[in-house]
Chains A and B, each alone.
Chain A
Amino acid sequence: MTAAQTGVEVRLEDLRRSYGGVTALDGLSLTLAPGELVALLGPSGCGKTTAMRLVAGLEEANSGRVMFGGKDVTGLSANKRDVGMVFQAYSLFPHMTAAQNVTFGLQLHRVGAAERKRRAGDMLDLVGLSGFANRYAHQLSGGQQQRVALARALAIKPTVLLLDEPLSALDAKVRARLRDEIRRVQLEAGVTTLFVTHDQEEALAIADRVGVMREGRLEQLGSPTEIYTRPATPFVAEFVGLTNRMPGIVKFGMVEVRGTQLPLVQQDLPAGPGTALVRPEAVSLASDHDAVPGPLIGTVIAVAFLGATSRVTVDLGDMTVLAQLPTSQASEHPAGTRVRLSIRPDPVLIAREEKAPAEP
């Protein structure tokens, strides 16, 4: 039985890092409350991994500070910072058993042999691998290896736990289960955690707060609900969840999209053309039996069954729109049928960039 540790506050102050001519991190500031799990989410190259490595001490920042519980650790090398790390791949030492992997950090911290054994046992129990102490890395599945890595990282009671895309190299099914495991273990240990990922589903599922990053800067920091329902920028809206880009005209504080008026997130946007970002859940379908064409009349070209919901792709002639509905409703509109769309009047973001941001 492990008593939950009291977590420590971790603060990143205006971190900057560049190599050669490339700016990896352009002034990142972030505070993690004690025991909080913050996910850094973004496409590759956005700086999330660099940020984590600066917290770990594996790289030196060009400027800025990293503070653990009010203490400035920016100048400390990695082995003096007491951080626990789980890597995307090759986490475990191949020549050591699971138990030896877990006790390795304890040996380095000069913990006595009996205490080491006890703590290793506790940690392996915590991650659900009690009987696997004497297995080597090549005898463990990918998911089990990552769990041992987690146990190893937590064994030394670190100040902060850093997870660098720990699920990216695993199968989809293992990923979902292990994601919840990691969250459970993290809550039980009470350790402040930074979780880096490019998978928005992961980030939204387990984090207390999500920081969406792009080109070295934090685009938005907020709870998963906030990020999803009230994206601050078009980039966040498109990176997190799916979005329909629908051209429209902004005037009088509303945007007109294909005959429908929709309220705006940004009240004081100047008038003119723009692209409205509409969530598929805001689009609903009704059968259309008239032959009369209209801006929101189209043909269903594909239905993707996702379990409880389905995603329907509708061809409006000049563009395609995605609608996400409960499967029972979607089954009324199989491929080939004519439908009329209606858009729920949720506040929408307007994008005024020339082209869409790069695919994540």
Chain B
Amino acid sequence: MTRSRRVKLQLFRGAVFLVLGAFVLAPIAAMFEFSTRGTKVDSPRTLVAWTNIVNTPDLIDAIVASLELAAITSIAMLVLLLPTMVWVRLRLPSLNRIVEFLCLLPLTIPAIALVVGLYPISRWMRINVSDSILMLSIFYLVIVLPYSYRALDAGLSAIDVKTLSEAARSLGAGWGTVMLRVIVPNMSSAILNAGLLSVAVVLGEYTFANLLNYQNLQVAIAYVGQVSAGTSIAVSVASLLFAFALLMILSFAGRGRAR
């Protein structure tokens, strides 16, 4: 393109990045600033809010619970979804559209609406099965379905599942071997993708936990925030950094895969 048009474009891009960059970074910078404030206006910067995190048992319990929920949900998602998707592709391709529809359906149902229908079920389970917060992972599976389905679907489409499994079967492999030793290793980045997305979603989840009366990470942050804003902001920053680290791992794992 001509020089003058190129210059105009670069000016435009610079302006956009500057303005929107400031808008996006301001709250993040503010969180850092707020969580390191001293008690008075002219006190020096302090990490009291951050060290308070370990001193707040509710917060620690909630962090542990959320991490456990994240792990359980991711694994349960893989165990439920991956075999089903492979099975549909290989044996029941006519069900493909239905499975896809059902997996993407949660995208169109707001969490705040769905929880209204889940409340009676949750109450029944609390009474008859278990009172533990880990029961939440059963409900979280519904929320992570769309993201995981998309990630796994992309991975399955990239490898020719039919040919691979037929080749393995013709060599004598049973279905378990086909899944574990043929399919899974060939879509490791898609599986990692689905898993990390699930973890990110579970760690950020508030609606279900709050309305079903469980204390997970986000509920704890909100609760502590009413007492000590600095501490809860410190935890927020930590969880943000964690999520960002997860996504960075994702993008590197995705690129590292030799093609």
Which of A's residues lie within 8 Å of B, judged by CB? Answer: 58-60, 77
**A115–chain B nearest beta-carbon distance, Å:** 31
Q: How many residues of B contact A (CB 8 A)?
A: 3
Give residues 1-43 of B contacting A (CB, 8 Å): 1-3
Q: How many A-B Cβ pairs are below 8 Å?
A: 6
Query: Within the assembled complex, what's the spacing in Å between the Cα atoms of A175 and B95?
Result: 42
Which of B's residues lie within 8 Å of A, judged by CB? Answer: 1-3
- Minimum CB distance partner of A58 in chain B: B1
Query: Within the assembled complex, what's the spacing in Å between the Cα atoms of A77 and B5?
Result: 11
- Minimum CB distance partner of A57 in chain B: B2
* Residues in B neighbouring A58, C-beta threshold 8 A: 1
Query: Within the assembled complex, what's the spacing in Å between the Cα atoms of A77 and B1?
Result: 10
A-B contact pairs, 6 of them (CB 8 A): A58-B1, A59-B1, A59-B2, A60-B2, A60-B3, A77-B2
* Residues in B neighbouring A59, C-beta threshold 8 A: 1-2
* Residues in B neighbouring A77, C-beta threshold 8 A: 2
**A73–chain B nearest beta-carbon distance, Å:** 14
* Residues in A neighbouring B1, C-beta threshold 8 A: 58-59
* Residues in B neighbouring A60, C-beta threshold 8 A: 2-3
- Minimum CB distance partner of A78 in chain B: B2
Query: Within the assembled complex, what's the spacing in Å between the Cα atoms of A77 and B4?
Result: 11
* Residues in A neighbouring B3, C-beta threshold 8 A: 60
For the complex of A and B, 6 pairs with smallest distance between CB atoms: A60-B2, A77-B2, A60-B3, A58-B1, A59-B1, A59-B2
Query: Within the assembled complex, what's the spacing in Å between the Cα atoms of A58 and B1?
Result: 6
Query: Within the assembled complex, what's the spacing in Å between the Cα atoms of A59 and B2?
Result: 6
**A19–chain B nearest beta-carbon distance, Å:** 12
**B139–chain A nearest beta-carbon distance, Å:** 43
**B6–chain A nearest beta-carbon distance, Å:** 10
- Minimum CB distance partner of B5 in chain A: A77
**A83–chain B nearest beta-carbon distance, Å:** 15
**A272–chain B nearest beta-carbon distance, Å:** 49
Query: Within the assembled complex, what's the spacing in Å between the Cα atoms of A59 and B1?
Result: 5
Query: Within the assembled complex, what's the spacing in Å between the Cα atoms of A77 and B2?
Result: 8
**A41–chain B nearest beta-carbon distance, Å:** 27
Query: Within the assembled complex, what's the spacing in Å between the Cα atoms of A114 and B2?
Result: 35
* Residues in A neighbouring B2, C-beta threshold 8 A: 59-60, 77
Query: Within the assembled complex, what's the spacing in Å between the Cα atoms of A58 and B3?
Result: 11
Query: Within the assembled complex, what's the spacing in Å between the Cα atoms of A58 and B40?
Result: 62
**A259–chain B nearest beta-carbon distance, Å:** 51
Query: Within the assembled complex, what's the spacing in Å between the Cα atoms of A59 and B3?
Result: 9
**B205–chain A nearest beta-carbon distance, Å:** 41
**A246–chain B nearest beta-carbon distance, Å:** 41
**B3–chain A nearest beta-carbon distance, Å:** 6
**B119–chain A nearest beta-carbon distance, Å:** 48
Query: Within the assembled complex, what's the spacing in Å between the Cα atoms of A59 and B6?
Result: 11
**B111–chain A nearest beta-carbon distance, Å:** 37
**A194–chain B nearest beta-carbon distance, Å:** 20
**A340–chain B nearest beta-carbon distance, Å:** 49
**B253–chain A nearest beta-carbon distance, Å:** 33
Query: Within the assembled complex, what's the spacing in Å between the Cα atoms of A12 and B3?
Result: 21
Query: Within the assembled complex, what's the spacing in Å between the Cα atoms of A60 and B1?
Result: 8
Query: Within the assembled complex, what's the spacing in Å between the Cα atoms of A84 and B3?
Result: 22
**A195–chain B nearest beta-carbon distance, Å:** 24
